């Protein structure tokens, strides 16, 4: 275990060494570019010197922002102080720290992609663009899908730089600092809910023309978070997004950089990868603590609420970054995704989360504990303990049988647009749902499972009905599907999903699953 940890730490330092060398090279290149002109008039030379000073100032400012992110974690105050002095933002550029790292980046990260990986790539579509960056969905030569982050040549940051300094290559390098900062943060903040860095291409250092030094960050590909679609999805999927977000915020509250705040906290900063929420935009993340003298200096201001936190004895606002993240999660995610159509027996627990996060009454540890408690109850089926066992007695199960005819009805939300497909823990829960709707006459349990391990259920009706809960998904272990005639329920042993149409005949297609049809008994 110790050797693995030391190896992981060494690999992280190697990555950071490559990044800082790119920064140093950029500054040196800019100095050379701006000084190679001997045929200018006195006025033009003065203007060039002024531009050079302004550009170097901007580069140093970017360097100041990034140096704290590059400092290795070390509990030894003496060593940490020594390394800090070597990277003092006010000192000249030097290589002292990075000369200690001699391993080749390629050997340390054999699985990382570089510029060679982008040869013959195929751009598919633009996923998004902003002031600084352009995000493109692409397929590499071997067909592997990735997301590329590039400098947005038509972005506001690039346009302003060209207006100020009139140097396309220098401006591309200056603007690309945000990409380099994100690379550092992705290395320092590795977590299942942070997008995975697959590699980078720093461009041709020292190359001529406008392409010299062009940078690209290679990421795993995700799907942009679509809140409108998410609002129409089953509660189980919406809960997963909120749970993933809380797990991420818990990590950020005690990250290797300290407590990290997401200053641009919007759904557009996130993507989903195989249903898992991941933060993909980190350039506005900050680990800076707010200095204070009194509690009045520690005010969190939001459009409709203000909160005043405590000023600690060491002169910083206690827990401000953590609280900022929690309230933003409440107003951008929990408010819309969490309460609507939560299982009735879990409503009081969901309400507790809404109240405590909306009023900032609990910290991120307590918030995560509340979410994990709901997950435990939901996966285990313990929240169904109050359902009477007799609820399923009126149903007859017909194993390996499906239904014929147009007997399914649509419901919302549903895992299928063509019918009513819901997630349940057991046949008992499915029966409870079916009993609560007069049009429901039977339901089908399948072997398909949701992310919680549940099974899918498809209720049947004597007429079409817009219904909310109709397909079951099992969470525990039932692989065969049954059809139950009678009241419809499904969530005792697993969560299941039924996705077949109503005209599929008596048996499901081979190789998918065995259906279990539940119908009312005689």
CA 11 – CA 5 distance, rounded (Å): 10
What tokens appear for 473 in the block?
Answer: 């998904």
DSSP code at position 22: H
111 has catalytic annotation: no
Instruction: Count CA atoms closer than 13 A to 177's CA, side-chain side.
Output: 23
Taking alpha carbons only, the member of 389, 508, 522, 386 closest to residue 445 is: 508
CB 182: neighbour CB atoms within 10 A?
23
Cα→Cα distances 387→149, 283, 375, 487, 491, Å? 51, 49, 19, 14, 11
Cα→Cα distances 222→218, 270, 277, 378, 491, Å? 12, 9, 9, 27, 31
Per DSSP (E only), the strands in 254-392 are 261-262, 270-273, 276-279, 285-286, 299-301, 306-308
Cα→Cα distances 184→69, 82, 256, 322, 517, Å? 7, 21, 12, 21, 54
CA 414 – CA 407 distance, rounded (Å): 16
Residues 69/181, Cβ–Cβ less than 8 Å: yes
Cα→Cα distances 23→27, 66, 88, 102, 216, Å? 7, 10, 15, 18, 15
Burial of 507 (0-12, 13-18, 19+ CB in 10 A): exposed
Strand 145-151 and strand 197-201: the pairing is: unpaired
Catalytic residue among 264, 283, 295, 297: 264
Buried b (16+ CB within 10 A) or exposed e, 122-138: eeeeebbebebbbbbbb
Which residues touch 342 (CB under 8 Å, ≥6 apart)? 235, 239, 350
Instruction: State the catalytic residues.
Output: 264
């Amino acid at each position: 275990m110790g050797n693995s940890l030391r190896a992981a730490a060494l690999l992280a330092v190697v990555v950071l060494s490559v990044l800082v060398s790119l920064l140093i090279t950029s500054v040196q290149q800019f100095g050379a570019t701006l000084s190679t002109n001997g045929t200018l008039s006195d006025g033009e030379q003065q203007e060039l010197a002024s531009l050079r000073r302004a550009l170097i100032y901007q580069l140093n400012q970017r360097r100041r922002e990034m140096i704290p992110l590059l400092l290795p974690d070390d509990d030894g105050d003496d060593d940490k102080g020594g390394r800090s002095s070597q990277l003092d933002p006010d000192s000249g550029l030097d290589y002292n720290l990075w000369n200690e790292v001699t391993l080749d980046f390629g050997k340390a990260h054999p699985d990382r992609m570089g510029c060679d990986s982008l040869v013959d790539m195929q751009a598919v579509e633009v996923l998004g663009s902003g002031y600084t960056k352009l995000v493109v969905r692409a397929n590499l030569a071997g067909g592997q899908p990735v997301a590329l982050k590039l400098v947005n040549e038509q972005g506001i940051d690039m346009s302003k730089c060209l207006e100020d300094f009139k140097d396309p290559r220098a401006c591309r390098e200056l603007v690309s600092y945000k990409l380099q900062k994100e690379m550092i943060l992705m290395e320092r903040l590795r977590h299942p809910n942070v997008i995975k860095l697959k590699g980078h291409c720093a461009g041709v250092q020292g190359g001529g023309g406008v392409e010299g030094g062009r940078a690209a960050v290679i990421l795993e590909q995700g799907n942009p978070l679509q809140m409108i679609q998410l609002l129409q999805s089953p509660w189980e999927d919406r809960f997963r997004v909120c749970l993933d977000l809380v797990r991420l915020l818990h990590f950020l509250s005690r990250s290797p950089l300290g407590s990290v705040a997401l200053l641009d906290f919007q759904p557009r900063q996130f993507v989903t990868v195989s249903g898992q929420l991941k933060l993909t935009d980190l350039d506005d993340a900050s680990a800076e603590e707010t200095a204070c003298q009194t509690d009045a200096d520690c005010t969190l201001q939001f459009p409709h609420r203000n909160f005043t936190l405590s000023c600690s004895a060491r002169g910083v606002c206690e827990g401000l970054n953590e609280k900022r993240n929690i309230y933003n999660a409440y107003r951008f995610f929990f408010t819309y995704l969490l309460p609507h159509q939560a299982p009735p027996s879990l409503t009081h627990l969901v309400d507790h989360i809404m109240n405590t996060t909306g009023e900032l009454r609990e910290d991120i540890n307590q918030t995560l504990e509340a979410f994990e408690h709901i997950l435990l109850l939901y996966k285990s089926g313990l929240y169904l303990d109050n359902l009477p066992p007799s609820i399923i007695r009126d149903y007859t199960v017909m194993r390996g049988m499906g239904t014929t005819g147009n007997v399914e009805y649509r419901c919302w939300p549903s895992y299928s647009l063509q019918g009513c497909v819901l997630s349940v823990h057991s046949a008992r829960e499915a029966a409870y749902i079916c009993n609560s709707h007069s049009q429901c006459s039977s339901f089908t349990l399948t072997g398909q499972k949701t992310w919680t391990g549940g099974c899918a259920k498809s209720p049947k009706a004597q007429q079409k009905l817009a219904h909310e809960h109709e397909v079951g998904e099992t969470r525990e272990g039932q692989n065969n599907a049954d059809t139950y005639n009678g009241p419809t329920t499904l969530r005792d042993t697993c969560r299941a999903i039924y996705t077949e149409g109503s005209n599929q005949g008596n048996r499901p297609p081979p190789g998918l699953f065995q259906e279990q049809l539940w119908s009312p008994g005689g």
